[in-house]
Amino acid sequence: MAINSFSEKVTKFIPILDLIYEQASVTSDMDDATLATQFVGTNKIKLPKISVDGAGNYDRDTGYTQGAASVTWEEHTLQYDRGRKFRIDVIDNDEVAFDLYRQVASEYVRTKEVPEIDAVRFAEIYSAATRSGTLATVATKDLTSSDSIISLFDVAESAMNEKDVPQEGRVLYVTNEVYRMLKSDAAISRRIDVGQANTDIDRRIEMLDGITPIVKVPQTRFNSLIQLNDGTTAGQTAGGFQTITGNKPINFVYALKSAIHAVIKRNADKIITPDANQSADAYDIFYRMHHDLIVKDNETAGIYIHTKATAQA
C-alpha cells in the first residue's frame, strides 16, 4: 500500500535515522545489545548484579564444597534525556514537505546528535576512570613531535596485561593527531608494494598488533569534561555541548569493549501536522533521546586513558 501522508512517511524514516547514527558515531560499537532489551518504561533499565563464591578444597569423601551464586537486578535511570523541536512551514505538497523533513532530520542526527553522544560517552569513561576506588589507569602528557606513539601504546598494553585484562576484545580510540603521529612513528615497520597493476599506496593502520582495532575520533568529541547546553539559558540557546574549565583533551583511550556498556533509546519522534497545530501553520517535529554509558566498578581495570597534561583554562 502506498504511503501517502507526511506522518506515515516520517514514521517509516525513523529506522534510517538509527542507521545514520550507527554510521556517523565513533562509539556505536559500545552499544550493549543486552541492555537495550532491559528497558523498564521510558528511561530505566535493569542491570544484573552477579555474586559468586570462590573455590574451595575438594574432599575425596564429601566431594565438592557448596558455593553460592546469586543474580539480582537493579534499576538504573539513564542520565541523559535530550531532545529538540523543529518547525517546518506548511507546504501544499506533502512530498516536498517530507523531503525537507528528511534533510533536517538527517542533518540533526549526523551533525548534532551523534557528536554529542560520542562526547558524552568519552567524558563518562574518563569519569569512571577517575572515580574513587577505580582500577583504571589515567596517564597525562602534552605530546610533541619527538614522542613515540608506539611506546605510549606499549605502556598502556603492559598496564592492561598486568591487570589480567583479556587481550581479545580491546579497542583503541585515538585523535586524528595521534593517528598521524602513529603513521610517522619510526618504530613501525611497513612494506609498501607498488606493482604495475596497482599503483595505490595504502598507508592506513587499522589494527594494533593484528588484534586491536584503531578508531579515529575528532578532538571535539574527545574530552574529559564537557557541559551539555540546555537550549534555553543565554549562551546555550543553540543547544549541543561544549568543553569547560578543567577539561583535559584526550589523546587516546585503550579499553576492553565488554567493560563499557552504552545504551540508547530513541523515542518515537512526535509530529504535529499544520491542521492540528494550534500555534503555527506548520509542521512541528519533536526529537527525544535517552542514553547513558555505564562502567561497573569491577570493570574499570579495562580502561586506560591518556590525556593532555594541560587543562583548559
Please tell me the least confidently modeled range out of 85-99, 122-136, 240-254, 299-313.
Answer: 85-99
The overall average pLDDT reported for the chain is 89
What is the arithmetic mean of pLDDT over 148-153?
95
For 194-218, how does the pLDDT look when each residue is reduced to its tens digit (9 = 90+)?
Answer: 555 566 777 888 998 889 999 999 9
Distances (CA, A) of 313 to 132, 222, 246, 252: 25, 17, 6, 21
CA distance 284 to 94: 14
Domains located in the chain, CATH noted? 6-51+69-307 (3.90.1690)
pLDDT of residue 48: 78
The three-class DSSP label of residue 207 is strand
What is the arithmetic mean of pLDDT over 141-168?
95
Residue 191's pLDDT band (boundaries 50, 70, 90)? low
What is the arithmetic mean of pLDDT over 207-234?
96
Question: Is the pLDDT assigned to residue 59 strictly greater than 90?
Answer: no
CA distance 70 to 16: 40
Element (H, E) at 173: strand 170-175
CA distance 140 to 126: 12
CA distance 279 to 312: 43
Please tell me the least confidently modeled range out of 18-32, 58-72, 289-303.
Answer: 58-72
CA distance 31 to 21: 11
- Residue 16 grid cell: 534510517
CA distance 47 to 52: 17
pTM: 0.89
CA distance 113 to 82: 9
pLDDT of residue 1: 35
The three-class DSSP label of residue 74 is strand
Main-chain dihedrals φ then ψ at residue 99, nearest 5 degrees:
-60, -40
- Residue 31 grid cell: 552499544
Question: Is the pLDDT assigned to residue 153 strictly greater than 80?
Answer: yes
